[in-house]
Amino acid sequence: MENTQKLLVVDDEGDVRNFFTNFFGRREIEVLAVSNAEEAIKAVVSQRPKAILLDIKMEGMDGIETLRRIKELDKQVKVIMVTGREDDEAKQETKRLGAYGFIHKPIELDEVEKLVMKLFPK
């Protein structure tokens, strides 16, 4: 049932979702992209992704609460948090909740690629 090559992208910005879908799709990773927390939680249950790129600031349920719920459902999934601002408190909270990594916007492609590709060895 589990496909070890699935990456879930959770971001309320369509351009970000499209970019990551294309970028990692070219690296033979199946990318699932959703725009909010509720869709992310459903995807974790139904699709069992190996890793998740999760935006912290979203409408409705924020990324920190989404991370908490995702980890309740799947302790093994690797969640990389994405944020547009320096927030040490949020960073500490996400680490405490089990986040695998933390990336700042504007996104450094090399940084995100290294972090994600470590999880998807060929």
Beta-carbon neighbour count of residue 103 at 10 Å? 16
pLDDT at 98 over 70: yes
Domains of the chain: 6-119 (3.40.50.2300)
Query: pTM of the full predicted structure?
Result: 0.93
Average of per-residue pLDDT across 99-114: 92
pLDDT at res. 4: 55
Q: What percent of the chain has pLDDT over 70?
A: 97
Q: How confident is the model at residue 3 (pLDDT cuts 50, 70, 90)?
A: very low
Residue 1's pLDDT is: 41
Specify whether the CB–CB gap between 2 and 28 falls below 8 A: no
Write out the H or E segment, with its range, that includes residue 80.
strand 78-83
Residues whose CB falls within 8 Å of the CB of residue 94, separated by 6 or more in sequence, listed in order = 56, 63, 64, 67, 79, 81, 102
**How many angstroms separate the Cα of 99 from the Cα of each of 13, 25, 86?**
21, 23, 16
| Mean local confidence (pLDDT), 84-111 | 90
For position 87, what pLDDT does the model report?
Answer: 80
Mean pLDDT for all residues in the chain: 93
